[in-house]
Structure 1
């Protein structure tokens, strides 16, 4: 199955049945992505070389303002969209089968996990994956060791405090934190 057909099916259906042709095609792409991530994570590279390698992993040209500290892990790679002037710190994990969109000028702290997949609750059907997009709007800041769960949108300018588990959408211009993440403050109250 060609990549465009695979991405189209994943987006339209929102589910991947274990053992299906879509699942097999996804695994092939994932195998190549893991290989490319291993190359990236086991060398010493300039910022330009890192941009080129991440471009190869995600299939999207990145601007000169993109910055990444390795290691970097993506489960699939080809369903990850990165805006301009984005910084990703070391140890982040992108489970992007369900799609991850990172808006311009976003900052992502150490060891953040983006999980776009849920498995079926039925133990006899756990190989089935349900896909939901994660979107970070422009100028978001995701604190270290946070986890963003399937279907979540983080609004413009918002901050997710370190160590948070984000289970619901975050409104623009707010600060959330905790497990599960809850409203902590309006951003305007923190700007001096």
Structure 2
């Protein structure tokens, strides 16, 4: 299995069966990501060096307008897309195997976790994983320590309060908070169409 075959597999939402070719590919690819992240997180890196390492991690060019404060963690890297003007604070963990997209101008608070894989409920099949992407729209603000679970979309201009656990979609231009997160009000603004 190659990278494109794997991405096609997970992007279609198909099961990653334990000990399958997809499972083995995922684990091998994670070793490459861990090597890159050890370099990123192991010493001071200039903003340009951080972006170069993120470009290696993701396999795509990361824009000059992107800022990431290490440490930053990702177990796969190759299914992560960062838009223009994205800011990711320290200590964030992105489990991007199932796909994470962060839209232009979005801010991710420190210690936030975005997850894209669920394990099987059946104990005999617990190694099986179901991928589901996380989509963060444009101009979204996730407060510190937010957790977003697989399959969630957060709409443009939304704000998610610190410590929230987001288990279902958050509409555009709303504020969500709590565990589990729920919409508590409108932001009173409409997200701009670009950064």
> Shorter-normalised TM-score: what interval?
over 0.9
**In structure 2, what is the equivalent of residue 20 of structure 1?**
20
Aligned twin of 1:35: 35
Alignment of 1:146-157 (within 5 A): 146-157=146-157
- The alpha-carbon deviation at position 144 of structure 1 amounts to 0.6
1:117-132 aligned within 5 A:
117-132=117-132
CA contact (8 A) 1:134 1:148 kept: yes
Shift of 1:4: 1.1
After TM superposition, list the pairs within 5 Å mapping 1:110-121 onto structure 2: 110-121=110-121
**Unmatched 5+ residue regions in structure 1?**
none
Tell me the CA shift for residue 20 of structure 1. Answer: 0.3
Match of 1:166?
A: 166
Shift in alpha-carbon separation, 1:13–1:161, aligned structure 2, 3 A: closer
**How far apart, in 1, do the equivalents of 2:31 and 2:97 lie?**
13
Report the TM-score, using the length of structure 2 for normalisation: 0.95
Deviation of residue 14 (structure 1)? Answer: 2.5
Aligned to 1:38, what secondary structure does the other structure show? Answer: helix
Work out whether residues 13 and 132 of structure 2, in 8 Å CA contact, stay in contact via their aligned partners in 1.
Answer: no
| Count of aligned residue pairs for this structure pair | 189
SS of corresponding position for 2:19: coil
Question: Counterpart of 1:175 in 2: which secondary structure?
Answer: strand
Q: Distance in 2 between matches of 1:164 and 1:30?
A: 27
- What TM-score do the two structures reach when normalised by structure 1? 0.96
| Structure 2 segments unaligned to the other structure (5+ residues) | 190-195
Provide the residue aligned with 2:44 in structure 1.
44
Q: Could you tell me whether the CA contact under 8 Å between 1:55 and 1:62 is conserved in 2?
A: yes
Q: What's the CA shift for 1:13?
A: 4.5
RMSD across aligned positions (CA) = 1.0
**How far 1:12 sits from its partner (Å)?**
2.4
Q: Show the 5 A alignment for 1:1-192.
A: 1-188=1-188
- Asked if structure 2 preserves the Cα contact closer than 8 Å seen for 1:14 and 1:132, the reply is no
Residue deviations 1:98-137 (CA, integer Å, cap 9, x gap): 1000000000000100010110011111000000010001
Q: In structure 1, what is the Cα distance between the partners aligned to 2:11 and 2:153?
A: 17
Distance 1:25 1:110, change over 3 A: same
Give the 3 Å change call, closer, same or farther, for CA 13–148 of structure 1 in structure 2. Answer: closer
Please identify runs of 4+ aligned residues in structure 1 that moved more than 2 A: none
